[in-house]
Amino acid sequence: MQLSVQQLDDLRPDAGLGWRWEQLVQAAPASGLMQSLHWAAFKRTRGLRVLHLGLFAADELIGGALLYAPATAQPASLLIAPEGPVLPWEQPEIARAGLRLLRSAALERASKYAAVGMRIEPLLPTPRPPLLRDWGRAPVDLLARETLLLDLTQSEAELLAAMRPKCRYNIRLAERHGVHVRSSTAEHDIPLFYALLDEAGERDDFYVEPIDHFSDLLRMLAPHGLARLLIAEYAGAALGALLLTTYGQRAVYLYGGTATSERNKMAGYALQWAAITSAKAAGCASYDFYGYDASGNPQHQYANFSRFKRGFGGTPRTFIGAHDFYWPDRLADAVVRAVHALR
């Protein structure tokens, strides 16, 4: 099979090659929203530059990568492909050849971004495939390496039956208390969502992006049906909120938080159940709880979240994580420049 790589610029997700790209990404089990043109548009609002490379077999687009770089060239930066590249991983020989071509094409354009290498993070299950043997494990992952996936092809009755009894009871308890969950794509609900997320971040000690990150995300994705807020309310007060993304057949619980007050109303359970049923109604086949520890280790950074998520059932999944490839000459030049700068 004759493969080639082309740079793709100014594609529209609803027409031509842009539409074909979106279809490829949505159908790729190892990829997701972060390789979509919609996510690329969002990242541009956040100041990143985007390099889009398409992999072709003859004239047919069969894969590629959306690579993100800082807005201005920085010493020893990387071209990064979260949830990518998009390749036929189930066909190792084609995937290996395609990955090499993408790497070479990125190197040809690396000087524009002051890049010394690439970082990729396809959603491939462990163990790492042999075709990545010349890629090194990255020092940090961009995405949650361990997660919990819920099969949404089951009926609602089957989903409830598969939960732990206490989780099922708490969902019904929230309903009896009168907790109501509403869906919103309105930007004026962002401060409400952010206040709850920030409160949870302070309480549970996790980092929260600045508020304009979420404003830009909702503004760029919601009009295309890819993101929405879910807000749990009781007696006129918001007790919890989450941001849900849906792309292809995968829904992701990307961000969320609950209030410290009125914990006995079980708003968090009502919120997750509403997100699960909403994702199912949108045609998704899986619900990704995003960030999970299957070991039950109380020292794990996701320990508290995992105890809560575990009640909903689902299957733990471990991915290979982020991997780096450095171009030796460019890396050596960056080191020499750094030494000269220190002198």
pLDDT digits (tens, 9 = 90+) for 19-35: 999 999 999 999 999 99
Which domains, ranges and CATH numbers included, belong to the chain? 3-143+320-342 (3.40.630.30), 146-318 (3.40.630.30)
Question: Above 90 in pLDDT, residue 339?
Answer: no
216 residue type, one letter: D
Helix (H, G, I), strand (E, B) or coil at 342: helix
Q: Is the confidence at residue 340, as pLDDT, over 70?
A: no
pLDDT value for 290: 95
- What pLDDT is attached to residue 72? 83
Residues 237-261 pLDDT 10s: 999 999 999 999 999 999 999 999 9
Lowest mean per-residue pLDDT among 40-49, 52-61, 323-332: 323-332
Query: Rounded mean pLDDT of 34-40?
Result: 98
Asked whether the beta carbons of 306 and 297 are under 8 A apart, the reply is no
Question: What does the pLDDT average to over 290-300?
Answer: 87
Q: Which residues contact 338 (CB under 8 A, 6 or more apart)?
A: 75, 76
pTM greater than the 0.85 cutoff: yes
- Yes or no: say if 314 and 149 are a contact pair by the CB < 8 Å rule: yes
In three-state secondary structure terms, 313 is coil
Please say if the pLDDT value at position 342 is more than 70: no
Tokens of residue 260, six digits: 């410290």
pLDDT number for residue 53: 98
Amino acid letter for position 221: L
20 Cβ contact list (under 8 Å, min separation 6): 61
For residue 50 the two structure tokens come to: 């985007």
Burial of 73-92, coded b for 16+ CB within 10 Å and e otherwise, reads: eeebbbbbbbbbbbbbbeee
Residues 116 and 74: their CA atoms lie apart, in Å, by 10
pLDDT for 335 equals 65
Residue 329 has pLDDT above 90, yes or no: no
The structure tokens 């996936």 sit at 149
Q: Is the peptide bond before 316 cis (omega within 30 degrees of 0)?
A: no
